[in-house]
């Protein structure tokens, strides 16, 4: 059983008024052409927060037209990197000035902890903007030493109009992880936030305008994936799609790109990351890490350490302590500062996770703790741990995207490596050991985009992040992310008059 909070502060918090519900196209908030709207729901109670404009193909056409014009003829790609950086710094300042309100929007919309939004997601995203603002005037090509009588250099130019398709689990972090490097290099863009969490993206559109980002540079089209999202991906005038979401939809995005204008695509997809804990680990520290790795953000995180491998010498102690810790986890209203875990994002996700739990039981895994909805309203689920899990079970294969840990026992380093790699995904992995040789060997043998040794979720703006295998390709964060939005042009000129004579 998870724990209820004794706190009362959730009821005392005054929720912000919802100011922005329309599409943001060419610097203006506008209704969708069809006039259609959709409900955005508060996962704490299933109630409607607001009705949001439902963009579709015709709205995407207008947004792309605005972005195209801003790219082909506007100031943004043509101003100096330094000037762009200055405006991005101002944008970051504005985010910080509205921190509480923005943090509340992501909590209402996505069930995310208000406290974490305030100390991590929102200020961290302002810092992401500043990181890339600092890079905006440091994007250089190369001088080439040609083997013939020519001189050449490369220009690194913005790729053009970018479509950013973002998921609901980190609405603010994902927005700025994608928008910031694209802004820095001089691209223009259409952002489609997830239909579950559109509120903060529209607010950021408003702040971008206040900061001085020219009209048409950032357009936000709210709406559904199969309509607005699909229209962006198949649009002939979009040059690049940067997508984060499920592997199934990633495939559709690539197909749409392939059958339209062969636009560039980068995909950050699902994960089923192993956390491998060796006998020499400090058990209490390992229990803390494993708990964080799966239950942080209610397990709605693509790099969640959802497969936990524990070496046989410490397995029993680890299992006992992990169960005790999961039972003590405080589940409840994300505005309550005592709460550690809020509701899952929506009813669909809630039901999907519960179905996986039932499947796990039927497949023969042992339900150690949790496994049920928590409370009598909203989409809360108890922190859940299965033991006796095997790699061929659905709960070990599929990304559940919920607070469900699968615990497995292993004997040798080789076995850990082999079983750790037994997944179609390759986003992240964790290793807990004091033995440097083991850490080095395992980190080089696991096929994943990020390896955390004796830590987990150690993200940083400077640390590139992305997938191997079916977790996708392309890197967000770090200076590598700039490459997603740049293309290289070679410029060649003779060193002498008429060198071919």
Q: Residues interacting with ligand ADP, by CB under 6 A?
A: 165-167, 192, 194-195, 224-226, 229-230, 233, 245-246, 249, 252-253
Least distance CB 399 / ligand ADP (angstroms) = 9
Identify the helix (H) or strand (E) that includes residue 38.
strand 37-42
Indicate the residue whose CB is closest to ligand ADP: 225
Based on CB atoms, which residue is closest to ligand ADP, 84 or 484? 484
| 268 catalytic per annotation | yes
Q: Catalytic site residue 302?
A: yes
Which DSSP letter does residue 297 get? G
Catalytic residue among 187, 302, 382, 399: 302
Bridge-based pairing state of the strands 150-158 and 218-220 = unpaired
Shortest separation between residue 294's beta carbon and ligand ADP, angstroms:
17
Which residue in the list 195, 233, 268, 340 is annotated as catalytic?
A: 268
Complex with ligand ADP: residue 117 or 169, whichever CB lies closer: 169
> In sequence order, which residues have a C-beta less than 8 Å from that of residue 261 and are 6 or more positions away?
235, 236, 237, 238
Question: What are the strands, taking DSSP E only, across 166-312?
Answer: 188-192, 218-220, 240-244, 264-268, 274-277, 307-311
Shortest distance in whole angstroms from residue 380 CB to ligand ADP: 18
Spell out the residues 6+ positions from residue 163 whose beta carbon is closer than 8 angstroms to its own.
189, 190, 192, 232, 233, 235, 238, 240, 241, 242
Return the number of other C-beta atoms located less than 10 Å from residue 139's C-beta: 17
Q: Which is nearer to ligand ADP, 2 or 194 (CB)?
A: 194
Query: Between 144 and 254, whose beta carbon lies closer to ligand ADP?
Result: 254
Nearest distance, CB of residue 253 and ligand ADP, angstroms: 6
- Are 128 and 178 within 8 A, CB to CB? no
Q: State whether the Cα torsion 17-23-29-33 is positive or negative.
A: negative
Residues paired with 154 in a beta bridge: 490
Closer residue to ligand ADP (CB): 126 or 165: 165
- Minimal distance in Å, beta carbon 233 to ligand ADP? 5
Nearest distance, CB of residue 397 and ligand ADP, angstroms: 16
Q: 284 vs 63, 118, 322, 385, CA distance in Å?
A: 52, 28, 9, 17
Measured from the CB atom, the residue of 226 and 366 that comes closer to ligand ADP is 226
Strands (E), 170-306: 188-192, 218-220, 240-244, 264-268, 274-277
Residue positions annotated with a catalytic role: 268, 302
């Amino acid at each position: 059983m998870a724990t209820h909070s004794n706190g009362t502060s959730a009821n005392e918090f005054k929720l912000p008024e919802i100011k922005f519900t329309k599409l943001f196209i060419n610097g203006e908030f506008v209704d969708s052409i069809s006039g259609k709207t959709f409900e955005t729901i508060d996962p704490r109670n299933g109630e409607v927060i607001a009705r949001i404009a439902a963009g579709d193909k015709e709205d995407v056409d207008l947004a792309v037209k605005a972005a195209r014009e801003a790219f082909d003829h506007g100031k943004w790609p043509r101003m100096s990197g330094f000037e762009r950086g200055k405006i991005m710094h101002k944008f970051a300042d504005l985010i910080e000035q509205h921190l509480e309100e923005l943090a509340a929007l992501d909590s209402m919309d996505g069930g995310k902890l208000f406290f974490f939004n305030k100390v991590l997601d929102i200020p961290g995203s302002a810092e992401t903007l500043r990181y890339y603002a600092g890079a905006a005037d440091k994007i250089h090509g190369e001088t080439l030493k040609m083997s013939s009588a020519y001189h050449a250099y490369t220009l690194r130019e913005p790729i053009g109009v970018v479509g950013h398709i973002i998921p609901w689990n980190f609405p603010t972090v994902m927005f700025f992880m994608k928008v910031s490097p694209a802004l820095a290099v001089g691209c223009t863009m259409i952002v489609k936030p997830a239909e579950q969490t559109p509120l903060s993206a529209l607010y950021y559109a408003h702040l971008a305008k206040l900061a001085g980002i020219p009209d048409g540079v950032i357009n936000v089209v709210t709406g559904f994936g199969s309509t607005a999202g699909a229209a962006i991906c198949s649009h002939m005038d979009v040059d690049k799609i940067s997508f984060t979401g499920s592997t199934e939809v990633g495939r559709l995005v690539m197909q749409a790109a392939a059958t339209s204008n062969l636009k560039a695509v980068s995909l950050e997809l699902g994960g089923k990351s192993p956390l491998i804990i060796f006998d020499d680990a400090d058990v209490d520290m390992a229990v803390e890490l494993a708990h964080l790795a799966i239950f942080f953000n209610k397990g709605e995180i693509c790099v969640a350490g959802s497969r936990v491998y524990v070496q046989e010498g410490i397995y029993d102690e680890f299992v006992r302590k992990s169960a005790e810790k999961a039972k003590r986890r405080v589940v409840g209203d994300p505005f309550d500062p005592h709460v550690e875990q809020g509701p899952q994002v929506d009813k669909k996700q809630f039901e999907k996770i519960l179905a996986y739990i039932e499947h796990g039981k039927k497949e023969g895994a042992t339900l150690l703790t949790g496994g049920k909805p928590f409370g009598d309203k909203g989409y809360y689920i108890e922190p859940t741990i299965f033991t006796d899990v095997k790699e061929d079970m659905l709960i070990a294969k599929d990304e559940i995207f919920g607070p469900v840990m699968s615990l497995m026992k292993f004997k040798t380093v080789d076995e850990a490596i082999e079983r750790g790699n037994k997944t179609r995904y390759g986003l992240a992995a964790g290793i807990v050991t004091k033995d440097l040789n083991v850490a080095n060997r395992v980190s080089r043998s696991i096929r994943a985009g990020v390896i955390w040794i004796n830590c987990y979720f150690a993200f940083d703006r400077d640390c590139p992040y992305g997938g191997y295998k079916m977790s996708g390709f392309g890197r967000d964060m770090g200076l590598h992310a700039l490459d997603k939005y740049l293309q290289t042009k070679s410029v060649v000129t003779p060193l002498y008059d008429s060198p071919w004579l």
